[in-house]
């Protein structure tokens, strides 16, 4: 089937020469040809082919100089919204949202975390009330929302029934970020940039046709989103000595005056850890190709966060005072920041967020212990208590 895919790509390129076709027109045509997500169904950007063949498609397109869809800018849509829409969306929803999501015409963000519901996400307090005309009115506050300042759409979970236990009274929606009731406020980070935002929802109107999954089944739908998020963060395809370990190793080789025996030993250990994480990610991607991602993705994300913080700390220590400096990022556009292309000081500060975003490392350890290893769960006294009776 690989040869058939290659031939299909070459036929597509012959009909759409990258040097002659407008970038957006090319991306739209690529989606329509089923070469966006080959494992998606026909008509939704795919061919119903094995997921592994996407690498074949991408390699052929890259060799021909084809444009990409700027995946870093639209990562939330690609890695989190799209798989959820595919699994739970109606045919109408899938055809409405998936194409402009993949081409980058519409940016997506995630309205999950709240000031009082971060690690305990199911405790969220944002309310959605259904009117007689079939429209939900949403009020509440979300926080740590990446790309909210550029997003057209948001995946949103809100409480629709406060009289049942917290996990049971949640529903999942797609929110129009241009609604007049949506207010986005930037959050300044330690690096100086404002990559995250807090979002205030006041009387936001969401038609029931923009709900994903059944009413009250939002937690189940959200698990698909969260599992895909962890895979997207921790299961990225990285070549040997790619990413941060490659940057550190390059500095080590180019700057012999910085070396010490103790640093050498630590670098070797980091290299081994990076290789283990790379191979674990490959195993995870193979498992993903066979079905939906499971809680095992938490391990990849946990390992990624830990290694990123260790490597950036090592890099700063290796460079000594040279590693402490970095540019002022206060006025930069965070969606254009290339993490690996910045200075060591920036990477060190930004990596501090890796153990929080996408699920805190503490919560991920619980997920691994309970859902992967089958260890006894932590005692939960609020599991069967109606949400409205919980202390907050």
Structure tokens at 234: 């921790």
Structure tokens at 202: 């006041």
CA distances from 350 to 33, 198, 213, 305 (A): 38, 18, 35, 11
Q: What is the pLDDT of residue 113?
A: 95
Catalytic residue among 114, 229, 296, 315: 229
pLDDT in tens, 216-234: 999 999 999 988 877 666 6
Delimiting residues of CATH 2.40.110.10 domain(s) in the chain: 108-216
Residues in the chain: 392
Please say if the pLDDT value at position 296 is more than 90.
no
Distance from the first to the final alpha carbon of the chain: 56
Query: Any residues with CB less than 8 A from the CB of 246 and at least 6 apart, and which?
Result: none
CATH of the domain spanning 2-103, picked from 3.30.365.10, 1.10.540.10, 1.10.287.130, 1.10.287.70: 1.10.540.10
Please say if the pLDDT value at position 177 is more than 90.
yes
CATH topology of domain 108-216: Butyryl-CoA Dehydrogenase, subunit A; domain 2 (2.40.110)
Delimiting residues of CATH 1.10.540.10 domain(s) in the chain: 2-103
Q: Which residue has the tokens 């057209």?
A: 152
Contact 33, 12 (CB under 8 A): yes
pLDDT in tens, 65-95: 999 999 989 999 999 999 999 999 999 999 9
Band of the pLDDT at 143, cuts 50, 70, 90? very high
Task: DSSP letter for 168, please.
Answer: T
Q: Which residue has the tokens 């990285």?
A: 238
Delimiting residues of CATH 1.20.140.10 domain(s) in the chain: 222-372
Task: Please classify residue 205 by burial: count the beta carbons closer than 10 Å to its beta carbon, then call 0-12 exposed, 13-18 middle and 19+ buried.
Answer: middle
Query: Any residues with CB less than 8 A from the CB of 94 and at least 6 apart, and which?
Result: 44, 85, 86
Alpha helices in the chain (DSSP H): 2-15, 23-32, 54-63, 75-76, 82-88, 91-103, 218-234, 243-254, 261-289, 297-319, 344-350, 361-367
216 vs 55, more confident: 216
Catalytic site includes residue 229: yes
Q: Which CATH class is domain 222-372?
A: mainly alpha
- What dihedral angle (degrees, nearest 10) is formed by the CA atoms of 64, 37, 35, 68? -30
Q: What is the pLDDT of residue 363?
A: 86
């Amino acid at each position: 089937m690989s040869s058939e895919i290659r031939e299909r790509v070459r036929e597509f390129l012959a009909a759409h020469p990258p040097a002659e076709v407008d970038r957006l027109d090319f991306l739209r045509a690529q989606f329509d040809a089923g070469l966006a997500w080959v494992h998606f169904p026909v008509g939704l950007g795919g061919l119903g082919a094995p997921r592994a063949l996407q690498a074949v498609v991408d390699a052929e397109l890259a060799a021909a100089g084809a444009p990409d869809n700027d995946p870093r800018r639209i990562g939330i849509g690609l890695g989190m919204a799209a798989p959820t829409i595919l699994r739970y969306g109606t045919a109408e929803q899938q055809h409405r949202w998936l194409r402009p999501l993949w081409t980058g015409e519409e940016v997506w963000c995630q309205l999950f975390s709240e000031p009082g519901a971060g690690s305990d996400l199911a405790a969220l307090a944002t309310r959605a009330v259904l009117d007689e005309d079939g429209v939900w009115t949403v009020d509440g506050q979300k926080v740590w929302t990446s790309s909210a300042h550029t997003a057209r759409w948001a995946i949103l979970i809100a409480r629709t029934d406060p009289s049942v236990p917290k996990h049971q009274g949640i529903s999942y929606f797609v929110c129009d970020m241009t609604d007049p009731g949506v207010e986005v406020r930037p959050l300044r980070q330690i690096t100086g940039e404002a990559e995250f935002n807090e979002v205030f929802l006041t009387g936001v109107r969401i038609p029931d046709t923009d709900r994903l999954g059944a009413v009250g089944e939002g937690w189940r739908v959200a698990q698909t989103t969260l599992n895909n998020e962890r895979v997207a963060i921790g299961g990225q395809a990285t070549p040997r000595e790619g990413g941060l370990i490659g940057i550190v190793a390059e500095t080590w080789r180019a700057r012999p005056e910085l070396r010490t025996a103790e640093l050498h030993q630590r670098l070797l250990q980091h290299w081994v850890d990076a290789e283990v994480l790379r191979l674990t990610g490959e195993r995870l991607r193979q498992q993903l190709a066979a079905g939906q991602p499971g809680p095992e993705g938490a391990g990849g994300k946990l390992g990624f966060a830990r290694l990123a913080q260790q490597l950036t700390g090592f890099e700063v220590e290796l460079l000594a005072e040279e590693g402490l400096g970095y540019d002022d990022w206060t006025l930069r556009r965070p969606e254009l920041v290339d993490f690996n292309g910045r200075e060591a000081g920036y990477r060190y500060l930004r990596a501090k967020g890796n153990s929080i975003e996408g699920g805190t490392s503490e919560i991920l350890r619980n997920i691994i212990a309970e859902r992967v290893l089958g260890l006894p769960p932590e005692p939960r006294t609020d599991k069967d208590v109606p949400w409205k009776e919980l202390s907050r």
